[in-house]
Structure 1
């Protein structure tokens, strides 16, 4: 899986949010309504990513406040984009966020791409006295129990200066090191125009469509004074990324992240 477009600079909020009262099921028999991504984003690693929907709680159905389950859509799962199931409490009032991941980055999610479904649930516990007298309004993902997990922000992947050489001609780029990617990529604007490209043979998956990536001839890449021979796919990357160095090259170079 590979894709384009830069990760959203801030996935903690959306420019404008609407109420869940505006959501509608596709048919009369549907138990759920679809939710879409409010931003365009590329999953650069296999780690879970939080994506805004532009939809805010409370969740109301015919005037009644409800909780909900947030589940993935089968069409997205077939493209190897997976949504981690979430429970939305009846008293949640902030923007609803989707947690997604893919085992095969890169994968692009388009703005307004429907990737998840919201299943309303009646709150059968509303008449039971809560253990804590507080309203669950927070937009952050955290537990109300005693378990504390340390989360590190890995959104800034390590970059390294790399030199690509083909028949005596050299090109120096800043490579994004990504152990989760299974193929190395150069953005077309950084590919030297005099270097040849082989016909497209690799299918690059975006959510909802496939794109064919051109392939480079065999060339050498040097990083930290170590050189290996490899090939690159040439396809659009996020604007801040010149090239992506995959796990196979990193393994040959002995780089451990």
Structure 2
């Protein structure tokens, strides 16, 4: 009665043998009802145990199975079926009319996949990298130092 969200449990046991992101299925399916959307977040106790739930948005028109994206920096790790590791925080979404997109059962990027281009492992040395950009008959070569403090670098 005082909780901000509803706990969400995995429907099957999942083993994390490495630190890659895994999808943990639940027994909950959309739509969530009453036109509600929800934020899917990890429970604080889950994080304290070394399992990180990646946040997500469940749209009001989503009709598929809700899954939890999670990873651990310290494998191996096992999440036992019925463990409450996440929570849903409900809200009324108010998107602008021009942004109406229907996702239904398409999940994880259903409104367009993110562009992840030229990923690099960045260490303490701040490496110097060269990139050649080509469009039609034009080409330019860029050289720069990677800064590990930046979240995103955009070249336009």
Give the paired residue count.
117
Structure 1 position 95 matched with structure 2 position 54: no
Asked if the contact 1:44–1:105 (Cα under 8 Å) also holds between the matched residues in 2, the reply is yes
| 2:98 counterpart (114, 130, 138) | 130
Q: 1:68 to 1:142 in 2, by over 3 A?
A: same
Distance 2:103 2:52 in 1: 26
Where does residue 38 of structure 2 map in the other structure?
A: 68
Distance 1:74 1:146 in 2: 29
- Normalising to structure 1: TM-score of the pair? 0.43
Asked if the contact 2:103–2:111 (Cα under 8 Å) also holds between the matched residues in 1, the reply is no
Where does residue 141 of structure 1 map in the other structure?
A: 108
CA RMSD of aligned residues (A): 1.8
* SS of structure 2 residue aligned to 1:138: coil
Where does residue 56 of structure 2 map in the other structure?
A: 86
- Normalising to structure 2: TM-score of the pair? 0.69
Q: Identify which of structures 1 and 2 has the higher relative contact order when contacts are C-alpha pairs closer than 8 Å and 6+ apart.
A: 2
| 1:44 counterpart (5, 17, 25) | 17
Q: Deviations over 1:130-189 (max 9, x none)?
A: 346x52113431152473459xxxxxxxxxxxxxxxxxxxxxxxxxxxxxxxxxxxxxxx
Distance 1:50 1:141 in 2: 10
Asked if the contact 2:9–2:83 (Cα under 8 Å) also holds between the matched residues in 1, the reply is yes
Q: Which of structures 1 and 2 has the bigger CA Rg?
A: 1
Where does residue 108 of structure 1 map in the other structure?
A: 78
Distance 1:143 1:30 in 2: 30
What is the 5 A alignment of 1:130-209?
130-131=98-99, 134-145=101-112, 147-149=114-116
Query: Which ranges of structure 1 fall in alignment gaps of 5 or more residues?
Result: 1-27, 151-257
* SS of structure 2 residue aligned to 1:130: helix
Asked if the contact 1:71–1:83 (Cα under 8 Å) also holds between the matched residues in 2, the reply is yes
